[in-house]
Amino acid sequence: MSTTYTLDTSTSRANPTPQPMKRLSVPKIQRRKVDGVTAEPVVMLTAYTARTAQLLDAHCDMLLVGDSLAQVIYGLPSTIPVTLEMMCNHGAAVVRGSYHSVVVVDMPFGSYEVSPQVAYENAARILKETGAAAVKLEGGKVMAETVRFLVDRGIPVVGHVGLTPQAINVLGGYAARGRSEAEAKKIVGDAIALDEAGAFAIVLEGVLEPIAIEVTESVEAITIGIGASARCDGQVLVTEDMLGMFERTARFVKRYHNISENIVQAATDYANEVRSRSFPGPDQLYQPKT
- The per-residue pLDDT for 18 is 46
Q: What angle do CA 69, 74, 79 make, to 5 degrees?
A: 50
Report d(CA 71, CA 82) in Å as an integer. 10
Q: pLDDT of 269-288, one tens digit each?
A: 999 999 999 999 999 999 99
Task: Judge if 199 and 166 occupy the same domain.
Answer: yes
If pLDDT is split at 50, 70 and 90, which confidence band does 2 have? very low
Stronger pLDDT, 206 or 15, i.e. the higher one: 206
Task: Judge if 259 and 146 occupy the same domain.
Answer: no
- The per-residue pLDDT for 232 is 98
Task: Judge if 84 and 226 occupy the same domain.
Answer: yes
Candidate list 85, 121, 205, 240, residue with the active-site label: 205
Task: Judge if 82 and 190 occupy the same domain.
Answer: yes
Q: What is the total count of domains within the chain? A: 2
Beta strands 234-237 and 222-226 are parallel
240 has catalytic annotation: no
What is the CATH classification number for the domain harbouring 138?
Answer: 3.20.20.60
Task: Judge if 228 and 270 occupy the same domain.
Answer: no
Q: Chain centroid to CA 51: how far?
A: 15
Q: Is residue 193 part of a domain?
A: yes
Task: Judge if 102 and 60 occupy the same domain.
Answer: yes
Q: Is residue 210 part of a domain?
A: yes
Q: pLDDT of 42-56, one tens digit each?
A: 999 999 999 999 999
Q: pLDDT of 151-204, one tens digit each?
A: 999 999 999 999 999 988 888 777 888 899 999 999 999 999 999 999 999 999
Q: Is residue 180 part of a domain?
A: yes
Task: Judge if 145 and 41 occupy the same domain.
Answer: yes
Residue 16 pLDDT greater than 60, yes or no: no
Task: Judge if 250 and 234 occupy the same domain.
Answer: no
Q: Is residue 10 part of a domain?
A: no
Q: Is residue 1 part of a domain?
A: no
DSSP states of 4-37 as a string? EEEEETTTTEEEEEEE------HHHHHTTEETTE
Q: What is the mean pLDDT of residues 225-236?
A: 97
Task: Judge if 231 and 263 occupy the same domain.
Answer: no
Annotated binding site for 3-methyl-2-oxobutanoate: 67-68, 106, 136
- The per-residue pLDDT for 3 is 42
Task: Judge if 267 and 234 occupy the same domain.
Answer: no
Annotated binding site for Mg(2+): 67, 106, 138
Helices within the chain (DSSP H only): 26-30, 50-57, 69-72, 84-96, 116-130, 144-152, 168-171, 181-197, 209-218, 239-242, 259-275
Task: Judge if 196 and 221 occupy the same domain.
Answer: yes
Task: Judge if 34 and 59 occupy the same domain.
Answer: yes
Give 230: exposed, middle or buried? Use CB within 10 Å, 0-12, 13-18, 19+.
Answer: exposed
DSSP states of 68-115 as a string? THHHHTT--SSSTT--HHHHHHHHHHHHHT-SSSEEEEEPPTTSSSS-
- The per-residue pLDDT for 145 is 98
Percent of the chain with pLDDT over 90: 85
Stronger pLDDT, 252 or 228, i.e. the higher one: 228
In which domain, by residue range, is 184 found?
23-239
